[in-house]
Amino acid sequence: MKIALVSPYDFAHPSGVVNHILALDKEFTRMGHDVRVIAPASEAEVSPQIAGRFIQIGKPRSIPVSGSVARITVSIRLAKQIKKTLREEKFDIVHLHEPFAPMLCTATLRFSDTVNVGTFHASGGTPLYYFTWPLLYYFIRRRNRKLHGHIAVSPPAFEYAVAHLPGKYVIIPNGVDLSHFNPQVAPIERFKDGKINILFVGRMERRKGLDYLLRAYADLKEENANIRLIVVGPGKRLRQGYERLVRNRDIKDVEFEGSVSYEDLPRYYKTADIYCSPATGYESFGIVLLEAMALGKPVVASRIEGYRRVVTHNHDGILVPPKNTRELARALKKLITDENLRLKMGRQGIETAKNYDWEKIALQILAFYQQVINHNSKQVDAKEAGLEAPVSSGGKA
């Protein structure tokens, strides 16, 4: 099968959607399918995994969205290259991620005359902010008819998408690469000095909740000198503010590592004794939670809808109310002071992560492709025979 995986987001910049597409590409290619990744890119170099199979269309710009930044192309001059790509590649299926994010995905959907599938990743905020423009919303609802299959990565993502775009959805979650995120990797040696390491991984954005973690950690540090906070993730502007907070409160043992490579990321999880994600909302899923759990680390995370679908409270992690520094500190302290509980939750986390192995997820998506292709073929045959095609019902599958 020849498959196009289309991202609206900058493929030279790490993100959940980018990593999702790379994982699908890896599994589909390993299974013998012919895959192309289509996306804008701010740099000439993207993942070497897709070398020779990456088709760059558009240059991204940074657009503030829901406390985050969406790096998308907003050019209205993409049509010629999109048409040329679709004409030359002759895809069996075009799989668009956030299919109504401007402009690459919406334009590709417009010009594609093959089977089109969309995956909806968002679960709140305003990623679909253009729906507030009545005229554009009208055209997007019409364009939705060209999607032959709808995938949501979680129930919250489904509920958010279906409220704007009624249709029949199937829920297929994100996955984790268990061959990459596995307990056999080596830790970061400079952090293996006997201190209990708390790890945060995420972009330096307000909604990731790092400020709450820093305050909780500061309170814990007053009681326990034998702990350390390791902060991994890109971002400059907010990082300066976080570093200023650390200096002003004289908080010891906070290490800002900045961006780390995908190759090195598992080593940071291995180094950690506890993984913490205090996100305040707008998370449809918890990929970072799965990565930590795959390495056998207990998780402390916010009790937000997307995370509740991944972590089972008091089983493989502890869930706390978002934006609640006191409860966050209490949960961390519980794990800091109980090594046996850390180890027990870590073992249970490994079992949870096995359910999300990317190989299993990729097979589910391929089965859905075939289902959609077969259904579309029947509709085409019905139309050619002058019969009325079947009508899809709404709701989730």
Structure tokens at 101: 């994010």
Pairing of strands 61-65, 68-72: antiparallel
| 150, β-bridge pairs | 118, 169
Answer yes or no: are the C-beta atoms of 342 and 335 closer than 8 Å.
yes
pTM as predicted? 0.88
pLDDT class for 383, splitting at 50, 70, 90? Answer: low
Of 164-173, 335-344, 363-372, the least confident: 164-173
Tens of pLDDT, residues 77-90: 999 999 999 999 99
Q: What ranges in the chain are assigned the alpha helix state H?
A: 16-30, 79-89, 104-111, 134-143, 155-164, 210-223, 237-248, 265-271, 287-294, 305-308, 325-336, 339-354, 358-384
Can you tell me the distance from the alpha carbon of 304 to that of 283, in angstroms, rounded to the nearest whole number? Answer: 8
Tell me what pLDDT residue 395 has: 39
pLDDT class for 384, splitting at 50, 70, 90? Answer: low
Superfamily the domain 189-354 falls into: Glycogen Phosphorylase B; (3.40.50.2000)
Structure tokens at 226: 């034998």
Tell me what pLDDT residue 135 has: 53
On the question of pLDDT at 252 being above 90, the answer is: yes
Cα four-point dihedral sign 89, 95, 101, 106: positive
The predicted model gives 156-178 an average pLDDT of: 92
**Listed residue (311, 348, 347, 350) closest to 331, CA to CA:** 311
Is residue 93 classed as helix, strand or coil in its secondary structure?
strand
CA dihedral 79, 80, 85, 90 (to 10 degrees): 80
Tell me what pLDDT residue 172 has: 97
Q: Which CATH number fits domain 2-175+358-396: 3.40.50.450, 3.30.1460.30, 1.20.140.10, 3.40.50.2000?
A: 3.40.50.2000
Q: Where in the chain is the domain with CATH 3.40.50.2000?
A: 2-175+358-396, 189-354
Tell me what pLDDT residue 380 has: 65
On the question of pLDDT at 164 being above 90, the answer is: no
Tell me what pLDDT residue 397 has: 33
Tell me what pLDDT residue 386 has: 57
Can you tell me the distance from the alpha carbon of 319 to that of 279, in angstroms, rounded to the nearest whole number? Answer: 11
Residue 389 CA from chain centroid, whole number: 36
